[in-house]
Chain A
């Protein structure tokens, strides 16, 4: 269990968490990225940007 960086609510995490994984805050709906696992650290997941070309 760790805190949502957006709303501060508790976020339940599963045991085999991996760095880079995206989890959801069930309270505010924010998409959060796991940036460390020991102990778990969450950041807001990057948003999709638009770019030109190939």
Chain B
């Protein structure tokens, strides 16, 4: 949907911070985003913008599609008491704050990614550009997957994740998840024949060896193979040994998820693997118009821009797989605190990120600031 451009509406710095604190205060683990989504809709409608919750739970606020600002509404689980504390020496050492005494907001999602989400909502209202808050990013990216097929391609995308207020993320590795299952006949453990558990271990060892790489090779350019869950032992009737092994592989831009899957399957001798729908890797050029606009906006804040490529995966991978427009990922916060029990965000950094996003959106939509 490419709606006409609404009039930009001023949002005071105080109201911007209030939106952030409200959203962090509302628990929104994946699958339970509704209340936070309603708070976002309320924010947009109170500022004269059309907004609604779509059939999968995404918050949609279409407007000027010169750029789409989008981040995720959901967080990982975990209750961290929400409060604003004065920054101390630990915050400086953790590179959360620049000065002791500045306000730091503690709470689940403050970094990943409610900070980027709130900053984008404020910037979208102030500049009249499009906004979507998506659901399910921390599980199966169902909100982004729905958006990518349900919406017209915008001219540019800014995906919201913590890059730090001076960081611009251009790349992510892809993602491939699979479940290995094997069954063997039960027998006395003194017998030499391998059982299903050993088959699983053998397969996974072979897969890790197949992707073993020089440790001096950048992690972003390697395949990282990781077992994430395992279950095994005698079946209920005692007649067999069963094993289930869940695995994840991160895919560098030099490979396709299909090539990684084929390599893993080539090591399979016994058992079967079922694979989930893969997420392709993404690596954007630093020379796009949106990357240029970010560098200029960050320099306006008297800071030096940083260009990042991340070893994880985000909804930007989904958008890059569906849309050809230029895109980057951006948002306030130190990603070392993603999912951490001490997740917290400097409010000064939040204000800075709002200003950067506002400058970028105005630049890309043809307005100058």
Contacts and interface: CB of A to CB of B under 8 A. Distances in A.
Contacts of A33: 295
A47 to B, nearest CB: 7
B33 interface: no
B294 A20 contact: yes
Interface string B138-175: 00000000000000000000000111000101111000
Contact of A20 (B219, B299, B311): B299
A18 interface: yes
A33 to B, nearest CB: 6
Given A50-B218, A54-B335, A20 B293 contact: yes
A21 interface: yes
B307 A48 contact: yes
Interface string A14-52: 000011111000000000010100000000011111111
A33 B338 CA distance: 31
A46 B314 CA distance: 23
A54 B292 CA distance: 22
B112 A18 contact: no
Nearest to A24: B287
B87 interface: no
A49 B338 contact: no
B338 A54 contact: yes
Interface string B167-209: 1011110000000000000000000000000000000000000
Interface of A: 18-22, 33, 35, 45-54
